[in-house]
Amino acid sequence: MTSTAPLTTVAGYRTGTWDIDPVHSDVGFTARHMMVSKVRGHFDRYEATLVTGDDPLASSVTATVELPSVNTGNDMRDDHLRSADFFEVDQHNTMTFRSTGIRADGSDWVLDGELTLKDVTRPISLELEVNGFGPDAFGGYRSGFSVRGEINRRDFGVSFTAALEAGGVVVSDKIQIAIEAEFVLRPSAD
């Protein structure tokens, strides 16, 4: 997560409104399974908008993830994640994030915000890596970020548990978040 330059002097930084490029982005997660391994998954459908300001620390991001698009590579597990045991997609189709600030933490950056899942909103802090800003091959302009963090799923009402005979549980409470986000700058309106 270490940034080699202060956020206020990132090479190629531009102000404006940016839309996520889902073809070059990934919203992923990891959960411990049966206390012995990790299962990874991601969401296939999501939207995000980044607004960069004159002061980069005043920039903001909003995102909406479609929970039915969960994909772990196993249809049976994905159906279980969509059920009332986990996401309850019949009642809660989306998960949302709204940033509340960006701050320095030593030589690293932290993205603070509010995550809403199953009608529960909690503050979260995510590690932010600024990967860069620059022109693309199509006459546009792009920016890229890596975001990492951890939540406790029980804090959001995702409380399914199944105890293992030898101790422990089938699915960990702690869920790792891993996002690779590439944004495209909207053309200016002038």
CA dist 130 and 110 (Å) reads: 11
CA dist 184 and 20 (Å) reads: 6
Q: Alpha helices of the chain — where are they, by DSSP H?
A: 75-82
Q: What is the mean pLDDT of the chain?
A: 88
User: 153 near 175, Cβ under 8 Å?
Assistant: yes
* All structural domains of the chain: 16-184 (2.40.128.110)
Per-residue pLDDT band at 158 (split at 50, 70, 90): confident
For residues 155-184, average pLDDT? 77
DSSP string, 41-78: EEES-EEEEEEE-SSGGG-EEEEEEEGGGEE-S-HHHH
3-state secondary structure 152-171: EHHHHCCCCCCECCCCCECE
For residues 11-40, average pLDDT? 88
The model's pTM is 0.88
Q: Is the pLDDT of residue 4 over 60?
A: no
